Amino acid sequence: MTPLNAKIQEVFSEPACGINQGKSEKERKKGCAKQLQPGGAAGGCAFDGAKIALQPFTDVAHLVHGPIACEGNSWDNRGARSSGSALWRTGFTTDMNETDIVFGGEKRLYKAIKEIGEKYDPAAIFVYQTCVPAMIGDDINVVCKAASEKFGRPVIPVNAPGFVGPKNLGNKLAGEALLDHVIGTAEPDYVTPYDINIIGEYNLAGELWQVKPLLDELGIRILSCISGDGKYQEAAYSHRAKAAMMVCSKAMINVARKMNERYEIPFFEGSFYGIGDTSEALREISRLLISRGAPEELMARTEALIAREEAKAYAAIVPFRYRLEGKRVLLITGGVKSWSVVAALQEAGLKIVGTSVKKSTKEDKERIKQIMGEVAHMIEDMTPREMYKMLREARADIMLSGGRSQFVALKAAMPWLDINQERHHAYMGYDGMVELVRQIEKSLYNPIWLQVRRPAPWDGEGRIAKLGMAMAAE
Amino acid sequence: MAIVSQVKKSCTVNPLKMSQPLGGALAFMGVCNTMPLLHGSQGCTSFGLVLLVRHFKEAIPLQTTAMSEVATVLGGYENVEQAILNIYKRTSPDLIGICSTGVTEIKGDDVDGFIKVFRKNHPDFINFPLIAVSTPDFSGAFQDGWEKTVTRIIETIAPMPSGRRAETRVNVLPGCHMTPGDLDALRQIFEDFGLEPSFLPDLSGSLDGHIPDDFTPTTLGGISVDEIGKMGRAVWTIAIGAQMRTAAEALERISNVPFRVFERLCGLVANDEFFAFLAEISGQPVPQKYRRQRSQLVDAMLDGHFHTGGCKLAIGAEPDLLFDVGSLLHDMGMELVAVVTTTASPVLDRLPTEEVLIGDLEDLESRAKVRGAEFLITNAHGRQMVARLKLPFFRIGLPIFDRLGAAHIVTVGYQGTRDLIFAIANMLIAHREVHHDVNQASWCPTMEQESL
């Protein structure tokens, strides 16, 4: 078995994963990804997943070793934000050509690393493997090791070529790269009893900054965020944190679990989406920190902050209530968000007519039942055609989903809101949830809906039909 | 006359180039009820899909053979077979267009061979249109993929000359630099000369942004497979952009339809040639409407030249778009000080500049900086460089993901040229008002130094 295959097996049998715990040994070996169906698949590859997980590190040069497609077709397409360097957004690729294919791409990769070091002086260079060099046998581990030694700068191999599996596997392989080469390689200047890691949070639309002030107020320091608005050094000394919060259970559970094993950093899975969940996450952070020796009084301060912020958030949502009462929401997203935003939406008077559970764990589904009752409309898999039909028949008033399905809603002339990675608004923490409700209200009550659903006053052949005339007269 | 050179470096930084299969897939999207299929890993499709969705703000039909590592090593026949069957079952398209990718090319998958075996194994599909194009990611660029695909469509569907030619029918082969808006404008022009154009590909039917009556998983419009089969009846083929010469030659070879290539349709002289040609082949006088539009363009050039004259331009685009728009701005008095493109083309050494670089946006940025460029034209990826260089920035090409209306940017015809001149001149005026307004120090270098 190649080292990469061994890694993949290891990631597949992740013991801390909720789904895995319910599987037999044999099932686990098969892996967690459903077999992809040619001609019926959608979604990113492992390389995509690895890049999603690591690219938010702001002071790192992210170098994609492959032909132009992998970086040329995809760069600068992520909504993460940086408070410092813009280097993370720069597109670096070896842009392999036919000669590289024939003679191997390792030399070009090595030279590319050298050029980046000389021109951009990054804190580190992450090298992403892709299918073509994997096929021809380019060994990026060896090149990265040689380049690190020669140039005296961390050069980290990220071994997740697209064809080994889906995005989610790539997230985890990215985590493995951090565990193998980054975490624990540096020491912070100082530590405090209030140091935490946040794992699997990418600061999309700058949403981490909706939560950071709350932590700041409590005196809690984000020692390292993996990877939103993160710096290489921070990840390198993240093993000195006292506790960790794992934000997206599916993405980097292996990082949280192994850091727990290696460095005894306790972690919990939580979410900053939703008012109750934000409070719960803050409580859990404080609880873990106290268990690691932080003063007990932290909890009292946390509770006070929660009480204040919850009151403020609910008060801010109240004015929307009479406008949103009874409006029906179709929620097409995955995992945590399938339940974590539901409570806040219900608080605003919205009715959830369906939530997708395609990417949710057993626990996620339990949570949905708790929040929405046994009659919860859990949608296992909905084709775009079915979504379109549901909206067209007005069985929902608005759809919240990712960009992939936006045109299903818009072409049905129904309101739609982006709640996935390319969105422009930040929806985290207390402020974020109020913002989400505000955006829903803005979308539902935009006057365009009345006009865009109006049929043209002519028929298929362009003849002015009687019906059309009657409408025009109205 | 320009010297064309390739940059000597190992790391491409901020790519301008996109890959061949994506250009090929987009070409297939100009055929009605079609499903383009990339034979590669699912990421190849996913990245391309996201890019086109962000550009067109439309649902994009694009499927994948979802090659795993094992399938890649063993060969992809099963995946291609399953993909065709699945797509057919789910979406009942009129055409499935298959573009290879880097990873399946390396393995040496022979998709044409696969199709033959597939037809043998599935006799129901014996006449079903399946077109395979070889588009490895590691050579060429987006424009090359488009060009190859259009040529393959013509070669495969092979429109035979059928008896009498229809006097008014013309074929139009637009390059990938033509937007849906350009095609609409061109269609109007042809029709005003009494001509009936068939566009291959026709993105104006599929990606112009319109509301279909029902949910459609394949392309929403475009030229039909039937109509492609009738292209042999046309009296002329008009190819737009040097990239379309090969496709036009193929059509001439197969169907005996003569062709003419228009490398530019942006600019006064280019349009004079184009309209004169249409008048000649249609036997119609140039309609009054276009005589007025020509006059308006001349006026726009007069009004615009105050602002464009002497302006130092940095431009990055695929060859045909670069040649079209770059030449117009040279016509308008701009100086092309930094010019970058993606792939080789016969038009490049005729660009009115000293050097054309096959390179990336890092090259464009460094040259723009050193040579004091005052204006930048490229796709939306120019936004990072412009934040550093603080230049006025006009977006052309693909992708344009951070502005609306990319499908309706029109540069063709007298009218398209006129509007482009206005848009660019206005941008330069606005930039000057904000950043370079005259003040007391303007004529006094020492004062300016102090104020700095």
In total, the C-beta contacts within 8 angstroms joining chain A to chain B are: 216
pLDDT at site A406: 86
Residue of B nearest to A107 (CA): B10
Give which of B69, B84, B106, B363 to mutate to test A binding, by max A Cβ within 10 Å: B69
Output the CA torsion sign for B327, B329, B330, B335. Answer: negative
Beta bridge partners of B335: B312
Report the distance separating Cα A141 and Cα A130, nearest Å: 13
Res. A472: pLDDT tops 60? no
Instruction: Report the distance separating Cα B321 and Cα A113, nearest Å.
Output: 32
Q: Which residues of A touch B44 (CB under 8 A)?
A: 45, 69, 162
Q: Does residue A474 have a pLDDT over 50?
A: no
This model's pTM is above 0.90: yes
Does the pLDDT of residue B100 top 60, yes or no? yes
Residues 6+ apart with CB under 8 A from A462: none
**What pLDDT, in 10s, does the model give residues B223-258?**
999 999 999 999 999 999 999 999 999 999 999 999
Mean pLDDT value across residues A399-405: 83
Shortest Cα distance, chain B CAs vs residue A25, angstroms? 22
Weakest-pLDDT range from A32-36, A402-406, B197-201: A32-36
Greater pLDDT, B214 or A429:
A429
Q: Closest Cα of chain A to B77: distance in Å?
A: 11
Residue showing tokens 């597939």: B118
Task: Provide the shortest C-alpha distance from residue B295 to chain A (in Å).
Answer: 34
Please give, rounded to a whole number of angstroms, the shortest distance from the CA of B411 to a CA of chain A.
25
Who among B45, B69, B84 is closest to A163 (CB)? B69
A468: exposed, middle or buried (Cβ count in 10 Å: 0-12, 13-18, 19+): middle
Distant-in-sequence, close-in-space partners of B444: CB < 8 Å, separation ≥ 6:
none
B392–chain A nearest CA distance, Å: 20
Quick one: which of B317, B307, B224 has its CA closest to B266? B317
- Closest to A435 measured CA to CA, from A447, A423, A452: A423
Highest mean pLDDT, choosing among A34-48, A345-359, B337-351 = B337-351
Domains of chain B: 20-157 (3.40.50.1980), 169-289 (3.40.50.1980), 298-415 (3.40.50.1980)
Closest chain B residue to the Cα of A69, Cα to Cα: B19
Beta-carbon count within 10 A of A439 CB: 18
Phi, psi (deg, nearest 5) at residue B356? -115, 125
E strand or H helix at A468: helix A466-473
Mapping DSSP to helix (H, G, I), strand (E, B) and coil, where does residue A376 land?
coil
- B84 pLDDT more than 90: yes
Does the distance separating the beta carbons of A69 and B44 come in below 8 Å? yes
At residue B391, the 3 state secondary structure works out as coil
Residue whose token pair is 């040649």: B323
B307 CA: distance to closest CA in chain A (Å):
32
Q: Chain B contacts of A105, Cβ < 8 Å?
A: none
Question: What pLDDT score does B452 carry?
Answer: 47
DSSP-assigned letters across all residues of A389-454: HHHHTTS-SEEEE-GGGHHHHHHTT--EEE-STT-SS---HHHHHHHHHHHHHHHHT-THHHHHTS
The tokens of A362 are what?
A: 């057993």
In tens, the pLDDT along B14-25 reads 999 999 999 999
A152 φψ region: left (φ > 0), alpha (ψ -120 to 50), beta (else): left
Which residue is closest to A133 within chain B, CA to CA?
B103
Give me the domains of chain A, ranges plus CATH numbers.
3-181 (3.40.50.1980), 195-312 (3.40.50.12380), 318-453 (3.40.50.12380)
Contact A347, A317 (CB under 8 A): yes
Cα nearest neighbour of B14 on chain A: A91
Q: Do B42 and A45 touch (CB under 8 A)?
A: yes
Q: What pLDDT, on a 0 to 100 scale, did the predictor assign at position A246?
A: 94
The percentage of chain B sitting over the pLDDT mark of 90, rounded to a whole number, equals 90
Which residues of chain A neighbour B106 with C-beta distances below 8 Å?
A: 101, 132, 135-136
Render pLDDT for B386-423 as a digit per residue (tens, 0 to 9). Answer: 999 999 999 999 999 999 999 999 999 999 999 999 99
Higher pLDDT among residues A61 and A394, named by residue = A61
Contact (CB<8Å) B102/A108: no
- The residue of chain A with its CA nearest to that of B107 is A135
Higher-pLDDT residue of B80 and A42 is: B80
Best of B41, B78, B86, B389 to disrupt the A interface by mutation (most A CBs within 10 Å)? B41
Please give the C-alpha separations between residue B312 and each of A122, A446, B308, B369, in angstroms, as whole numbers: 32, 44, 9, 11
| Residue B261: alpha-carbon gap to chain centroid | 15
Both tokens assigned to B4: 């064309």
Is residue B448 pLDDT above 60, yes or no? no
Instruction: Round to whole Å and give the CA distance between B327 and B411.
Output: 12
Strand B12-13 versus strand A92-93 pairing type: antiparallel
Average pLDDT, chain A: 89
* Total count of residues recorded for chain B: 452
Measured between CB atoms, which of B19, B59, B82 is closest to A407?
B59
| pLDDT (mean) for B74-85 | 96
Mark yes or no for CB contact B139/A115 under 8 Å: no
Cβ-based contacts of A98 with chain B (< 8 Å): 136, 138-139
Express each pLDDT in A72-119 by its tens digit.
999 998 889 999 999 999 999 999 999 999 999 999 999 999 999 999
What are the tens digits of pLDDT across the range A267-300?
999 889 888 889 999 999 999 999 999 999 999 9
Residue to test with chain A: of B47, B78, B400, most A Cβ within 10 A: B47
- Whether B175 shows a pLDDT value over 80: the answer reads yes
Question: What pLDDT, on a 0 to 100 scale, did the predictor assign at position A422?
Answer: 65
Q: Which residues of B touch A115 (CB under 8 A)?
A: 9-11
List, for residues A221-257, the tens digit of each pLDDT value.
Answer: 999 999 999 999 999 999 999 999 998 667 889 999 9
Poorest-pLDDT segment among B40-49, B296-305, B357-366, B433-442: B433-442
Among A426-430, B142-146, B282-286, the least confident range: A426-430
**pLDDT, position A12:** 76
Reference B61, options B41, B90, B85; nearest CA is B90
Mean pLDDT of chain B: 95
Token pair in block for residue A312: 């403020």
